[in-house]
Chains A and B, each alone.
Chain A
Amino acid sequence: DAGVTQSPTHLIKTRGQQVTLRCSPKSGHDTVSWYQQALGQGPQFIFQYYEEEERQRGNFPDRFSGHQFPNYSSELNVNALLLGDSALYLCASSGGTGRIGANVLTFGAGSRLTVL
């Protein structure tokens, strides 16, 4: 089982650019969540996707958007990058609500974004 895979692992962008991060959930999982982890901080919830729709959203501006595909994989897009967007972006998958263990997330290793 490959677990949750994310790409790219590292990337560098400049202010104002746009970035797309990708995530493949663990086999059998249908829900994907994205978190932002700034250096020395705990992860902050960005949003969650289920059945190709955004189901929940944290306190992040509209510059952060996402998508889920029919195969449950997901993308996180960030437009008009700011220096403060530099962080580790974590993808987590789970088995959907209403099922035992549904609130146990499996995390990927993350994509480290540096904005210069």
Chain B
Amino acid sequence: GDSVTQMEGPVTLSEEAFLTINCTYTATGYPSLFWYVQYPGEGLQLLLKATKADDKGSNKGFEATYRKETTSFHLEKGSVQVSDSAVYFCALTFTGFQKLVFGTGTRLLVSP
């Protein structure tokens, strides 16, 4: 079945460091890909998305590029802030179905 694999956390960084969180997927067909973020005590918030190969999603300094050849959607940010500390989830879905398949999440801890 369809699945998403994320790098295990926690990822611990100092403020202004470069961030990469790896995400790969297995799916029949060509899904849409998402990154969601979950802050403590809150629900999931959509961070960015990409709906087809080579699309780049971006938001709040975060970026991810849909790579069909490597079935990957790695999340990057050039300079993290303490306020970016949260759990990040990679997910996929197929248009018209809306069921999201999530990875297990990666916790990011950013220290001043």
Task: Evaluate whether A97 and B44 lie within 8 angstroms (CB atoms) in the complex, with A41-B104, A41-B105, A103-B93 already known.
Answer: no
The number of chain A residues touching the other chain, given as a range, is 20 to 34
Write the chain B residue with the least CB distance to A47.
B99
Whether B103 and A42, one on each chain, are in contact in the complex, defined by CB atoms closer than 8 angstroms, is yes
Minimal Cβ-Cβ distance residue in B for A91: B43
A110, B102: Cβ atoms closer than 8 Å: no
Q: Does A58 contact B (CB under 8 A)?
A: yes
Residue tally, chain B, CB below 8 Å to A:
25
Task: Name the A residues within 8 Å of B96 (CB-CB).
Answer: 97-98, 102-103
CB distance from A2 to the nearest CB of B (A): 13
A residues contacting B by CB (< 8 A) are 4, 31, 33, 35, 40-45, 48, 56, 58, 90, 92, 94, 97-98, 102-110
